[in-house]
Each structure stands twice: as C-alpha cells, then as structure tokens.
Amino acid sequence: MDDLATRDLIRYAGHGAFSPGIIERAEGASVFTEDGREVLDFTSGQMSAILGHSHPEIVSTVREQAAKLDHLYSGMLSRPVIDLARRLAETLPEPLEKAMFLSTGAESNEAALRMAKLVTGKHEIVSFARSWHGMTLAAANATYSAGRVGYGPAAPGNFALPVPDSSHPDIVDADGDLDWRRQLDLGFDLIDAQSVGSLAACIVEPILSSGGVIDLPLGYLAALRDKCRERGMLLILDEAQTGLCRTGSWYAFERDGVVPDILTLSKTLGAGLPLAAVLTSAEIEQQAHDRGFLFFTTHVNDPLPAAVGNTVLDVLTRDRLDLRARELGERLAGGLHELAGKHPVIGDVRGRGLLVGLELSAGPTGGDVDEFGAAVTRRCTELGLHMNIVQLPGMGGTFRIAPPLTATEAEIDRGLSILDDAITDVIRQH
C-alpha cells in the first residue's frame, strides 16, 4: 500500500500515512477491504456518514436524482434546493432562515467569513487556538491546530483565543478548576490590544473536534456572544461535525440557548456526500446582498447534493436520530468510563452524544504518549476497528470517536471490546 501511495498519489495528511489496505466497499457501520477484512468504522468516514455507509435511502436518492437533474448553471434553481433551504430553516431557531448550499466545510466557512467581512465592513477574525475550519484561504487563516508552518505569511488580522479546556486548565480558580470567565476576559484584552479596530467576526465550534473533543463550558458561548456584540462582531458557529443530531440534539448550540449570526454546516448534512450550507438571518442576507455579496462557485446550490440533504432530513426526523445519538452516546461513554477504570493510561472521557473523546494521559511505562496512542490506533485497525487519534503537542493523544447514528448496540459494544483488547495488547508489548 505504501508503495502504491508513493508511486501514484500526492500525500496530503502532513506526516500521517494512508490507512493500510484498499477499501472495496462500505455498508452500515463497516468498511470492507479488497482482501475481505471487515473494519468497524468509528469515525463515520471523515466524521460525516451519520447514517452509515451506503444507506439504502441515500443510494436510491442519488440514483433517481442523478438520472433526472444533477448539476445546473450556478444561477439556476431547482426544487431540491428550494425545499432543503425551507426545511433546514424549520429545524433552526429564528432568525436563521436564509441558506446557500456549497460542497465542503472549508467552503461554507469561507463564504461565512466573506459575508461577515462585507456586512461589518471590517476584516479581523477571531478563532480558537486549537481550531480547525478548513484549508482554503480565510478558513486556513482561522485554523490554528495544524497547517500553519511553511506556507508563508498568514493574512493580517487573525487572532487566536485560548481554548477553555476544563481537562487541562491554564487559568484556574481557588479550587483549581478552569476559570473560563477570567480566561475569556484576558483573551479579549489581548485581542483588543492587537486589533486595529476592525474586528469583524468570531468563528468557533461548539465542541472543538480536531482540537481534542473539547466541549465548551456551559455559559461560555453566551459570554462569547456578548463579547462579540460589545465589539460589533458577528458570531459564526461551525457545526460541521456537531450539527444534525450528532451530539444528541439537532444542533450543539441549542444546549446554550445561543443563536449565532451565521451558522455553517457540512459533513453531517450530506451524510458523507459533499454538501455544506451557510445559514443566516434575513437582515444579514439583505445587507450582504445590498453590498454585492459574491460567492459564485461551480457547485453552489446544485440539485443532486441538495436532494441527498432532503433525504438526510427525512431519515433524521423519522427515525428520531437525535434521541438515538443520545442513547447510544450514553452507552458508548459508559463503556469508555469502564475502560478508564481498567486502564490507568486513560486520563479522561468527554464529549456529547456520539462525539466522544477518550484521552490517553501517558504511555504504559510513563513513556511517550504519542507513540503509545499511535500503537493503539494501529492495533485497533489490525483487530478490525478504525479509530482516529488527535495528537497535539503537550496534550497526549485523544481518540475522537464518532460512530454512525445508525450503529447498533452490538456494534458499539464490539468497538469497545476491540479498543479494550488493543490497549491491553500494546501495554503487554511494552
């Protein structure tokens, strides 16, 4: 596999390697290699396939829609696009009622940031110091978890906000717990000192996924919204991985009662197919339109992915997958807590619904936790479980666990058992 990749493909994952084996097909919560191995997929593809792989209703929609209407000139509209815009707005609180549809999360964040700059007449952007919003220009400049070294100067006016990580608090109160209010105040004091008076927007994930599955403390999002309002900034929430029932509610921001000025969706909206969205209020959309908002792309508002999005909404609603994610998430988190009691190398279990992080705190003999995490990941693959580990400097390794919302209890239990065996095997090897 490595020889094939070296010969024919551009390697695009930094220093990461391609996963072993060639995938021939996928179904439900599993992928199958050419040599006949079944691998349980606890990443839902790229954190996207919330309905599992090759869901029969998605397959049917693709076949029917592709045979009728797949792609149009970007200025033309189709019934699937109009229907999806209306139906998505019905799942959201007011005043989020205007939508546009794109292909990827980076693209939707790019459009949201461009809209925010145009509407506010400003250019400075704030995001978390462990953020991931994409690899296109504005999205990459708002991304701090990886990909900044070696590409020349970043765009001026991008500022990093400290992450309110309760598991690794950097500013603490008298009890030693994270003092996120003081941290947030200090973060904006530093931003204000650096700003040239042109703060346009703050873009954040309600749960930092690539940043280590960090759930924002309750109350933080409301306080952040207030900081934005004080400065005339727009609040953009990136729910690429948390939106559409993944966390046990339709949108992660619902827990906090905070409605963003602009919401971006991707990954989960297409359930594994390329579909992203930007949603905002009629007022912001009108202001953007009046100022000539331009985001003309080849696949904006294409009918084929929009038809898939409508089917995703059908299945999520009919099968109550928000409730399903909550129930399966409790089963998954409970099993991971049991593993933490069995394996002292596990330092923390956190997350919401079916987006759960399991953090390794140290290697089995106090050695390099990154090497240990990589070894556990490899052993999981060998035993038939695909896992993804986030390795950030000084943080150890955090498994980012996100099975499909359609997974069965037996599949959750099987994944937990394989992870248990993998950790045990790697510890024995040490």
Are residues 418 and 362 located together in one domain of the fold?
A: yes
343 and 230, same structural domain?
no
For the cut 90, the answer to whether the pLDDT of residue 4 exceeds it is no
Write out pLDDT tens, residues 84-108: 999 999 999 999 999 999 999 999 9
Q: What is the pLDDT of residue 361?
A: 86
Distances (CA, A) of 304 to 63, 78, 82, 109: 10, 10, 12, 21
- Given a cut of 90, whether residue 413 has pLDDT beyond it is yes
Whether residues 234 and 287 fall in one domain:
yes
Tell me the pLDDT tens digit for each residue of 259-282.
999 999 999 999 999 999 999 999
Identify the domain boundary among 318, 339, 361: 318
pLDDT digits (tens, 9 = 90+) for 5-28: 668 899 888 877 888 889 999 999
Q: Is the pTM of this model over 0.75?
A: yes
Residues 6+ positions from 122 with CB-CB distance below 8 Å? 198, 199, 200, 232, 233
Same domain, 290 and 328: no
Say what percent of the chain tops pLDDT 90.
90
Q: In the predicted model, is pLDDT for residue 2 greater than 90?
A: no
Q: Which of 219, 193, 189 is nearest to 206 (CA)?
A: 219
Q: Are 113 and 126 in contact (CB under 8 A)?
A: no
pLDDT at 394 over 80: no
Q: Is 213 left (phi over 0), alpha (psi -120 to 50) or beta?
A: left
264, part of any domain = yes
Residue 35, pLDDT > 90, answer yes
Rg of the chain on CA atoms, in Å: 21
Residue 318: is its pLDDT beyond 80? yes
pLDDT of res. 104: 97
CA distance 408 to 423: 23
What pLDDT, on a 0 to 100 scale, did the predictor assign at position 240? Answer: 98
**Confidence (pLDDT) at 65:** 98
Q: What is the CATH number of the domain that holds 424?
A: 3.90.1150.10
Structurally, the chain folds into a number of domains equal to: 2
- Residue 3, SS3 per DSSP: helix
Are 50 and 403 in contact, with CB atoms under 8 Å apart? no
**Does residue 169 fall inside a structural domain?**
yes
Query: CA separation (Å) from 385 to 70, 275, 326, 406?
Result: 35, 27, 22, 17
Q: Is the predicted pLDDT of residue 132 greater than 80, yes or no? A: yes
- Residue 314 and residue 326 share a domain: no
Segment 329-355 mean pLDDT: 97
Residues designated as active site: 132, 205, 238, 241, 267, 400
According to DSSP, the β-strands at 158-161 and 199-204 are: unpaired
* 64 is a domain residue: no
Rounded to the nearest 10 degrees, what angle do helices 321-342 and 303-318 cross at? Answer: 70
Same domain for 195 and 76: yes
Query: Is residue 109 domain-resident?
Result: yes
Of the residues 318, 334, 362, the one at which a domain ends: 318
Residues 367 and 296 in one domain: no
Q: Which amino acid is it at 333?
A: A
Which residues are CB-neighbours of 73 under 8 A, at least 6 positions away? none
Note whether 151 and 260 are same-domain residues: yes
Q: What integer is the mean pLDDT of 243-254?
A: 98
> Across all residues in the chain, what is the average pLDDT?
95
| CATH number of domain containing 199 | 3.40.640.10
Same domain, 277 and 164: yes
Q: Does position 32 have pLDDT exceeding 80, yes or no? A: yes
Q: Do 89 and 229 belong together in one domain?
A: yes
Residue 417: inside a domain: yes
Q: Who's near 283: CB < 8 A, 6+ residues apart?
A: 95
> Cβ of 305: how many Cβ atoms within 10 Å?
26
What pLDDT digit, counting tens, does each position of 363-382 carry? 777 778 888 999 999 999 99
Q: Is 381 within the bounds of a domain? A: yes
Those residues whose C-beta lies under 8 Å from the C-beta of residue 343, and which sit 6 or more positions away, are 420, 423, 424, 427
Domain that holds residue 211: 69-318
Percentage of the residues of the chain whose pLDDT score is greater than 70: 97
The answer to whether the CB of 222 falls within 8 A of the CB of 230 is no
Using alpha carbons, select from 260, 273, 275 the residue that is nearest to residue 26: 273
Q: Return the closest-CA partner of residue 48 out of 352, 402, 416, 300.
A: 402
Regarding whether 85 and 51 lie in a shared domain, the answer is no
Where among 260, 289, 318 does a domain terminate? 318
